[in-house]
Amino acid sequence: MELEKILKRKFNYSSFRFGQREIIQDVLEGHDVLAMLPTGGGKSICYQLPSYIMGGTSLIISPLLSLMEDQVQQLKKNGEKDVIALNSFLTFYEKQNAVKELRKYRFIFTSPEMLQSPLVITALKKCRISLFVVDEAHCISQWGHDFRPDYSKLGDIRRTLGNPPCLALTATATKQVIEDISTMLLLTKAKRHIYSVDRKNIAIVVKKTNSLDDKISTLLDRVQKLQGPGIIYFSSRLWAENIANYLLEKGIKNVAYYHGGMEQEHRMLIQQQFLSNQLEVICCTSAFGMGINKPNIRYVIHFHLPSQLESYLQEIGRAGRDGNKSIAILLYSPNDEEIPEQLIHYELPPTQSIRTILNSLNEKLKNNGNLHITRETEEEIINKAEVNENYWRFVKHQLKEFNLLDDHFFSEEIAIDEVTNNISRIIKQRMDLKSEKLLFMKKWLFSNLCRRENILRYFGEELLDKPAICCDICSEDFLTFETQIKQEANTTITDWREELGRILLKGE
């Protein structure tokens, strides 16, 4: 059957978006595929549609619980029953039941962490996995901005599952990251579909202010005037909360904050309210947004300077997924660049914390003979060493890499000095890399070159076709552009036929 017909029948879309068809065809021909489509480009269809044709089970590895839940909900809305998110949201019994019945699912969403469980792997081995999908695949690379150590084991997991065809998807990856994804996931023979990261419907603006106060009042002014909905990014939880409260005090309606320090249920609620247009503005940290499938976000404001262009591009890419005009504004006040510099320093454990963690491990080992690292022991170590959970996770990962910790089992005393030095060396390399990325970000910020052209150059691309309203360097006429955004938003009526079709499809 023609692919277009299946697209219409299953998803009620009339045509493929740029790149989708080519990716889907290669997947259907059984090739491994590495695809980069910009945020909002429609990556999900690239595995969902082939799954319906190929049968069997598609295993989708996704970095975030909220992202997984969102994808599951969308498939369910679309009438799919055989879909499950295998993650820590499930209770012990739910997980056991799910694992028993894994074979019946067409789509299994899971996290790299869950794939560390032998129980899950054994169950997956019994399924006919027709596609191994790695979503947000840049997380696999130590050069990628969301590097997640557990992602780096996916190559081995794929092998354990009998090397099913793999589809790696990402929205922002430099050439180096693409090579890393390819090596780690054993994609040497993969077909590559690398499309431009450029989003022409998003104007890119840097607004330099004179002081912090000036920046806050500029923010208020923009939020009052711009067409919403909008997202405002902050580099700290406290700032996100304070500015959300400030905006509410100033009479802006439907504002909320969102960050990783909130209870999971509270976060889900805020996300849901934003998706269903009950909220107009979200003040958040980078914890918000990955996989947010909201087509009509009209602006993304950065109140603080992001630490790298990859994150910046991914965050602004959440605007204008419907293809309509949108704007990204980065607010800058003097010395803002010091914040990401400091953050880089606090992200990974200092030598003293590594030592204390290792000492408490040795001490526990001495008392117990050998040590099974359960959730409880982890919490004890975190409390005893007075470190944050991320520091512990990082050290634990390194201990595994050095073969000092085997599947949560620890039996040999650690040579503290030697191991601390080895871990510190790795930290230094990662910090150097992060500092280098920050340097690019700063160069971009202070450069007089077209913002878009400069971003594309960083990703190894050339700007071939500049949009009429491009960036603050190329054009000053943003007031007209902002008015256009408003007009367009008010006159855009969703294609009612597609919308109606989707409603009817749900009832099938």
- Give the shortest CB-185-to-ligand ADP separation in angstroms: 18
42/475 with CB nearer ligand ADP: 42
SS3 141: coil
Whether residue 387 contacts residue 357, with contact meaning beta carbons closer than 8 Å, is answered with: yes
295/350 with CB nearer ligand ADP: 295
Bridging pattern class, strands 371-372 and 409-410: antiparallel
16 counts as binding ligand ADP under rule CB under 6 A: yes
- Give the shortest CB-318-to-ligand ADP separation in angstroms: 9
70/241 with CB nearer ligand ADP: 70
Interacting residue with ligand ADP among 3, 8, 17, 401 (CB under 6 A): 17
- Give the shortest CB-171-to-ligand ADP separation in angstroms: 6
72/331 with CB nearer ligand ADP: 72
SS3 361: helix
Interacting residue with ligand ADP among 199, 215, 321, 451 (CB under 6 A): 321
Least Cα distance to 331 among 250, 262, 239, 440 occurs for 239
17/397 with CB nearer ligand ADP: 17
The number of helices, as runs of H, and strands, as runs of E, in the chain is 20, 15
Instruction: Number of residues interacting with ligand ADP: please give it, by CB under 6 A.
Output: 15
- Give the shortest CB-411-to-ligand ADP separation in angstroms: 43
78/236 with CB nearer ligand ADP: 78
Tell me how many degrees the CA angle 260-35-172 measures, rounded to the nearest 5.
Answer: 40
Piece of 15-23, 123-131, 139-147, 247-255 that binds ligand ADP (CB under 6 A)? 15-23
37/395 with CB nearer ligand ADP: 37
Whether residue 314 contacts residue 171, with contact meaning beta carbons closer than 8 Å, is answered with: yes
- Give the shortest CB-499-to-ligand ADP separation in angstroms: 11
Least Cα distance to 312 among 320, 303, 324 occurs for 303
Q: How far is CA 133 from the centre of its chain?
A: 15
**Contacts of residue 176, Cβ cutoff 8 Å, sequence gap at least 6:** 141, 143
- Give the shortest CB-288-to-ligand ADP separation in angstroms: 15
What CA–CA distance (Å, rounded) separates 342 from 338? 6
Could you identify the residue written with the tokens 């017909």? 5
- Give the shortest CB-494-to-ligand ADP separation in angstroms: 11
What CA–CA distance (Å, rounded) separates 353 from 346? 11
**Contacts of residue 161, Cβ cutoff 8 Å, sequence gap at least 6:** 59, 121, 124, 125, 129, 132
- Give the shortest CB-199-to-ligand ADP separation in angstroms: 11
What CA–CA distance (Å, rounded) separates 415 from 406? 16
Contact mark string toward ligand ADP, 253..292, x via CB under 6 A: ----------------------------------------
Residue nearest to ligand ADP (CB): 42
DSSP designation for 115: G
What is the footprint of ligand ADP within residues 20-59 (CB under 6 A)? 20, 37, 39-45
Q: List contacts with ligand ADP (CB under 6 A).
A: 13, 16-17, 20, 37, 39-45, 293, 295, 321
